[in-house]
Amino acid sequence: MADNELKKALQADETSRIDEVLSKFDLNISDAEVSEAVKKIITEKVSENDTLEVKRFLMGSVELTTLKTTDSDESVMAFTEKVNQFEEAYPTLPHVATICVYPRYAKTVSETLEVEGVEIACVSGSFPSSQSLIEVKAIETQLAIKDGATEIDVVQPVGAFLAGDYDTVVDELQQQKEACGQHDMKVILETGCLKTCKNIKIASILAMYAGADYLKTSTGKLEPAATPEAAYVICQTIKEYYDKTQIQIGFKPAGGLNTVMDALIYYTIVKEVLGEKWLTNKLFRLGTSRLANMLLSEVVGKEVKFY
C-alpha cells in the first residue's frame, strides 16, 4: 500500500473510532435545560455549602497561578516563597494544591518550593492559543517536565475542533499526553469559544478519549472564561464517562473566578453532579490566584493580603 493510501486508511480508522466513542454518549443536550438546571442548583444548594469547612477545603484546591507577560525568575521565585512562608504562618490551614507557571519557570519553582504536597503545573503546548506545530508542543511539554513540572495544562486545538477536524484534536492531545509520560495532563477546552453545550460535551469526550486526566474550562485569556453552565456540562460528561469506564477524571474551572461565591458555586456543581467522591484537592482544582487571599480572609475572619 502506498504511503498516502496507508495514511488515509489510518485516518479513516481513527475517524471511525472517534465516531464510535461519540455514539456511546447522549449528545442531545439543550442549552436552555442546562441553564435551568444550573439555576436550580445555585438557588437551592449553594447556601448549604457556604461554611468555613468548605472554604478551608477550597483553600487547599487553589492552583496559585501567575501567567503574566511580566513574569521573571525573580517574581516567580518571590511568588513561590509565599507558598513556603504560608506553611509557617498558618500551620493549621491547608496550603494551595498547585503552583501554575509558564514552562520556562518550572525549574525556578522546583528549586524554590519547599512545601511537600504542592504540585508544579506548567501551561504548555503553545498556551494559550495552541497554534504551534505539534512537534513544538510536545517538546515544550517534555522540557517542562525535565525542569520539574509535575502536571501539564494544555489547550485543545480549538480551531481544529470548530472546523470539525476531531482527528487532529485527538491526535495532538494523544501526542501531548505521551510527552507527559506518567504526569497528569489537564486539557483546557476554552469553553467560551465553543458556544454550545453540545460542543462542550463533544470536546470533553474527545479530551478524555485522548488521555486527559483533568478537564479544565478556560485559559483565562479569553472572555467568556469559566461559567457555571460549562462546568455543569463538563461534570455531567465526566460522570457519564466514569459510569462507562470507572475512570475518574478531575475538573478544574479557571478564568473569571473573582469571588468566594464563584468558588462555592463550582464546588456545589461538582458535589451535586459528580458527588462527594470528587471533592478532594486531587480531583477538584480552582485555577485562580485572586481567590487565595479572599478564602484566607473568610477563614481567619479578617481581611488578609498574604499572597
Residue 302 a catalytic site member? no
Helix segments in 186-257, DSSP class H: 191-194, 197-209, 228-245
55, 107, 137, 153: which one is catalytic? 153
Residue 186 a catalytic site member? no
The kind and range of the H/E element at 7 are: helix 3-23
55, 137, 216, 271: which one is catalytic? 216
Contact 226, 218 (CB under 8 A): yes
107, 177, 252, 271: which one is catalytic? 252
What region does 72 belong to: left with phi over 0, alpha with psi -120 to 50, or beta?
beta
Contact 270, 235 (CB under 8 A): yes
Q: Which 3 state secondary structure label does DSSP give 221? A: coil
Residue 195 a catalytic site member? no
Contact 99, 80 (CB under 8 A): yes
The three-state DSSP-derived secondary structure of 115-143 is: CCCCEEEEEECCCCCCCCCHHHHHHHHHH
Q: How far is CA 227 from CA 31, 191, 263, in A?
A: 13, 8, 11
Tell me phi and psi for residue 65, to 5 degrees: -125, 135
Catalytic residues: 153, 216, 252
